[in-house]
C-alpha cells in the first residue's frame, strides 16, 4: 500500500521544468513563487472528468498531455507565458502503469513549455484531473476577448475541425483507418503559446477555440460588443478532414470543438505583418471574416447567407 506522499515522490516530485522562480515547490503546505514586479499573474484552471471530457480507458499519456494542454491554450489566448502548474488527481485506485503514463505525458509537455509543477494533491474518487496553471504577462499587455472593433478581421490558427472528427473515431462512430492524424489532433492538442505571444502586438481580441469556432467567435464578438460575418468558403480545412468528412468538413470546422486553436480579431492594417510572423511561428493563420456592428453571426457560403446550428455537436453527451 502506497501513501499519498510515496506516490507523489515516485511520480510527481520532479515533473516539468526546473525554474529558479520556484522558491518553495512540492513538499510544503503550499508553493512559494517569485513574481516579477513588472508582470501580471495570469491564472486558469480546467477539470477533465472521465465519461464527460474523455472516454473510459483513454490512454493515460494523452490524458497527462491533454490536462495541461487545455490550460496552456487558455494562457495562449491571453498572450501569457506559462510558468507554474498545480495538479489535483482523483483516482479510483492506485494503478502504477496509469500513473507512470500520465506523469510522462504531463512531464513532456510541461518541459516543452518551461512549466514547473509546483504542487497538488491526490485523492481517492471517480477519475478526474484538475490542472491549475499560472503564467506571466507584462503589465497591461494581456490579450482579452473584449478588445475587438467593428471592421477588424477575424482569423483562426491551424485547421479547426480535425479534433472533433478524431473524437468521433475515438467514440467508435467512424472507422479509424485513414484518420490517425485526426485522432492525434484530439489526443494531443497543441496549445498555440508562441502564437499568443506574437499576437500581443497584432490582435485586438483573442479567444481559444475549445467549444467550436462558431460558438467561440460568437463569444469574442459579443464581448467586443460586435457581431460577425464569417466566410465559410475561407475556413482552413485540413486535407485529412476533407478526406474523412467530405462535404460536411466545414460543419466540423465551425461546430466541432476541442481544437485549442486561437481565434482572434485584428485591425486590417496588421494583415501583412501577421502573414510574415505566422510563417516564422510555424502555424498558419487564416482570415475567415470580420467583426460588424450588427449583433449575431452571419454565415456566408457560395455567395448566400446560410443558417447553421451547432447544437448537434455536443460530442460529450454520450
Taking the chain, what is the end-to-end CA distance rounded to the nearest angstrom? 35
Instruction: Give phi and psi for 59, each to the nearest 5.
Output: -60, 125
CB of 74 or CB of 259, closer to Mg ion: 74
CB 96 within 8 A of CB 143: no
Between 152 and 208, CB nearer to Mg ion? 208
Binding to Mg ion (CB under 5 A) within 250-309 occurs at none
**Burial (Cβ within 10 Å: 0-12, 13-18, ≥19) of residue 277:** middle
Cβ-based nearer residue to Mg ion, 74 or 107: 74
Distance from C-alpha of 234 to C-alpha of 17, rounded to nearest angstrom: 39
Q: Is 292 helix (H, G, I), strand (E, B) or coil?
A: strand
Min CB(208)–Mg ion separation in Å: 4
Residue 172 Cβ vs Mg ion, minimum distance, rounded to whole Å: 28
Residue nearer to Mg ion on the CB measure, 133 or 226: 133
Q: Could you give the CA distance from residue 205 to residue 77 in angstroms, rounded to a whole number? A: 9
**Residue pair 133/191 in contact by the 8 Å Cβ criterion:** no
Residue ranges of the alpha helices (H) in the chain?
4-11, 60-77, 96-112, 162-170, 180-187, 193-199, 213-223, 239-245, 249-255, 271-281
221-240 residues in contact with Mg ion (CB under 5 A) are: none
* Least Cβ distance, residue 80 to Mg ion (angstroms): 12
**In the complex, least distance from residue 74 CB atom to Mg ion, rounded to whole angstroms:** 4
Find the shortest distance in angstroms from Cβ 66 to Mg ion. 14
Q: Cβ of residue 259: shortest distance to Mg ion, in angstroms? A: 11
Question: Shortest approach of Mg ion to residue 260 CB, angstroms?
Answer: 9
Residue 208 touches Mg ion, criterion: CB under 5 A: yes
190 binds Mg ion (CB under 5 A): no
Total number of residues binding Mg ion (CB under 5 A)?
Answer: 2
Nearer to Mg ion, 143 or 232 (CB): 143
Instruction: Compare residues 7 and 222 and give the one whose CB is closer to Mg ion.
Output: 222
From residue 22 to residue 61, the character string flagging contacts with Mg ion as x (rule: CB under 5 A) and all else as - is ----------------------------------------
Give the separation between CA 200 and CA 217, rounded to whole angstroms.
18
Kindly compute the dihedral angle of the four CA atoms of residues 181, 183, 186, 188, in this order, to the nearest 10 degrees. Answer: -60
Nearer to Mg ion, 162 or 208 (CB): 208
Per CB under 5 A, the segment of 197-205, 207-215, 240-248, 262-270 that binds Mg ion is 207-215
- Closest of 74, 84, 287, 42 to residue 196, by C-alpha: 74
**Helix H or strand E encompassing 200:** none
Provide φ and ψ at 166, rounded to 5°. -60, -40
Q: Does 216 bind Mg ion (CB under 5 A)?
A: no
For cell 520532479, the residue is: 14
Chain positions 67 to 106 lying near Mg ion, rule: CB under 5 A, are 74
Judged by beta carbon, residue 60 or residue 135, the one nearer Mg ion is 135
In angstroms, give the least distance from the CB of 17 to Mg ion.
Answer: 23
Residues that bind Mg ion (CB under 5 A): 74, 208
Amino acid at each position: 500500500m502506497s501513501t499519498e506522499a510515496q506516490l507523489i515522490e515516485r511520480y510527481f516530485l520532479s515533473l516539468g521544468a526546473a525554474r529558479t522562480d520556484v522558491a518553495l515547490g512540492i513538499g510544503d503546505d503550499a508553493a512559494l513563487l517569485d513574481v516579477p514586479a513588472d508582470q501580471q499573474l495570469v491564472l486558469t484552471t480546467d477539470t477533465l472528468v472521465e465519461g464527460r471530457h474523455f472516454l473510459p480507458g483513454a490512454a493515460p499519456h494523452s490524458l497527462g498531455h491533454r490536462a495541461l494542454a487545455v490550460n496552456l491554450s487558455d494562457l495562449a489566448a491571453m498572450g501569457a507565458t506559462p510558468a507554474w502548474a498545480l495538479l489535483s488527481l482523483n483516482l479510483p485506485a492506485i494503478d502504477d502503469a496509469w500513473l507512470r503514463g500520465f506523469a510522462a505525458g504531463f512531464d513532456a509537455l510541461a518541459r516543452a513549455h518551461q512549466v514547473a509543477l509546483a504542487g497538488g494533491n491526490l485523492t481517492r474518487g471517480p477519475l478526474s484531473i484538475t490542472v491549475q496553471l499560472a503564467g506571466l504577462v507584462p503589465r497591461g499587455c494581456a490579450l482579452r476577448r473584449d478588445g475587438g472593433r467593428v471592421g477588424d478581421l477575424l482569423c483562426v490558427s491551424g485547421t479547426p475541425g480535425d479534433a472533433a472528427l478524431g473524437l468521433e473515431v475515438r467514440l467508435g462512430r467512424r472507422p479509424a483507418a485513414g484518420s490517425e492524424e485526426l485522432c492525434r489532433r484530439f489526443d494531443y492538442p497543441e496549445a498555440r503559446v508562441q502564437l499568443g505571444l506574437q499576437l500581443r502586438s497584432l490582435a485586438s481580441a483573442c479567444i481559444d477555440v475549445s467549444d467550436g469556432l462558431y460558438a467561440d467567435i460568437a463569444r469574442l464578438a459579443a464581448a467586443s460588443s460586435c457581431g460577425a460575418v464569417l466566410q465559410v468558403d475561407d475556413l482552413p480545412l485540413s486535407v485529412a478532414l476533407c478526406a474523412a468528412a467530405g462535404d460536411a468538413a466545414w460543419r466540423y470546422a465551425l461546430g466541432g470543438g476541442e481544437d485549442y486553436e486561437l481565434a482572434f480579431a485584428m485591425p486590417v492594417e496588421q494583415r501583412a505583418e501577421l502573414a510574415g510572423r505566422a510563417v516564422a511561428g510555424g502555424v498558419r493563420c487564416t482570415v475567415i471574416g470580420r467583426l460588424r456592428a450588427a449583433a449575431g453571426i452571419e454565415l456566408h457560403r457560395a455567395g448566400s447567407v446560410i443558417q447553421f446550428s451547432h447544437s448537434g455537436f455536443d460530442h460529450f453527451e454520450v
